[in-house]
Structures are given as structure tokens and as C-alpha cells.
Amino acid sequence: MRKQLNKVFSSLAKATQAPAKHWKIEAGHVVVPSFIDEGIQYYTLENLFDSYAQRGLAAIDSFEEYNMRCSRKHLIDVVSKLEQIQGRQTYGVQDLIEEKQIVSDLKERLLFPLPPMDLIYKLASVAYWDENESPYSYDENYNKKKIEKWKQSKTIDDFFLTVPLGNIVNLGDLSKFDLKDYFQTLEQVDQIHKQRLSLHN
């Protein structure tokens, strides 16, 4: 998988090297400008996996979630919900049906053609950073705010047009209109799955 990730992020490189800024760049590592959004320049490493830095490890975690179509938190929620059902004092047919539905939802999610947008935003937040971030470390709280800014400033199709996600996300032959319809439908399915996992049900 690491070779695949190296190839993916290497393809993001541009011919022009970014200015040094305030970063302390390790020998042989190249920072390249990637795109500008809302007046903010975003960068990436020519090879994000030049070292086992925190950002590189975060990229591996994000890519694994991308491939599974669900986050680690979602898997924990699935296990917690199944444990709750199995721990009921009166376990009957309806509980068995509910269990089967939870498992069916998880299988459906694993087979999604593309992951929910939240996972794509997270992967993008790892691959691209602004001048206030380090090329090597990943601040989860800072990037949550960055993701929220992306969500507020752009529609889904605009985000895909601005951010070079085609290099890290296989979109196939989907047009921006197909993408918009797909992710709107996927968001509805995602919310249904999450509602079924609520421990208050």
C-alpha cells in the first residue's frame, strides 16, 4: 500500500519549488505549491512519505479509512451498537432483525463506489496544508477547522474543481453533475446508517 501512496502523492508535484517560508525542510525533501483557495495557498510534499513523519502516518490512516469507506469511529459505533443489542435483557426476534440491519448497513458501506465526503475532506486535509502548518506534523483540531472552512466556502462540485483531488481520489468518468447527485444520495444513506447506530434507539 505504501508504494501506491507514494505514487499517488508523487503525482501531485509541480515543476516549481515553493518558497522556503518558515519551515525547516529536511535534505532532499521538496515542498511544491498545489492550489489556491479563498486566497490561501496550499502546498504538498513532492513525496509525502519521504519520512515517517506525523503527516505521513496520518495519510496512511486516512487512506485506510478511504479504502474501507468508513472511519475508525464508525466501526467502533457499529461494535458498540451490536453490544448494546446483545446485552438487552429481553433478546428476541426484533433484536435479531436489528442486528442483521446493522451488519447489512456496514456491508453496504464497504461496497460504496466512493467514500462519504467527510473521508475525502479528511484525506485532502492531510495531503494539502497552508503556510501556518508544518509539512511534517498534523494538527487534528486545526484541520477540523480547515475542513469546515472548505465545506462552508464551496459546494461539492466546486470543491472538486478547485482542489486537485483527481490525483488522490479515483473519480472514474463521473461529471461534476454526477458527483453532486452521487454525494447528495450518499449523504442521505450515511445519515440513515448513523441514526441506526445511535445508542439512544
E runs forming strands in the chain: 31-37, 40-45
Amino acid identity for residue 159 in this structure: F
Give residue-wise pLDDT tens across range 82-139: 999 999 999 999 999 999 999 999 999 999 988 898 998 898 898 889 999 988 889 9
Give residue-wise pLDDT tens across range 28-66: 777 888 888 888 899 987 766 554 467 878 888 888 999
Helices (H), 111-139: 117-127
Give residue-wise pLDDT tens across range 3-27: 555 544 444 333 334 444 667 777 7
DSSP string, the chain: -HHHHHHHHHTT--SSPPP-TT--PPTT--EEEEEEETTEEEEEESSTTSS--HHHHHHHHHHHHHHHTS-HHHHHHHHHHHHHHHT-SS--HHHHHHHHHHHHHHHHHHT-SS--HHHHHHHHHHH-B-TTS-SS---HHHHHHHHHHHHHH--HHHHHHHS-GGGTS--TT--HHHHHHHHHHHHHHHHHHHHHT-TT-
**What are the φ/ψ torsions at residue 155 (nearest 5 degrees)?**
-80, 170
- At 156, is the pLDDT very low, low, confident or very high (cuts 50, 70, 90)? low
- At 75, is the pLDDT very low, low, confident or very high (cuts 50, 70, 90)? very high
pLDDT at site 77: 96
In the chain, domain spans: 2-196
pLDDT at site 189: 95
- At 69, is the pLDDT very low, low, confident or very high (cuts 50, 70, 90)? very high
Give residue-wise pLDDT tens across range 180-200: 788 889 999 999 999 999 977
List the grid coordinates of 141.
483540531
pLDDT at site 8: 45
- At 177, is the pLDDT very low, low, confident or very high (cuts 50, 70, 90)? low
* DSSP H or E run through 56: helix 54-68
Q: How many CB atoms lie within 10 A of CB 181?
A: 13
> CA-CA distance, 159 to 30, in Å (whole number)?
25
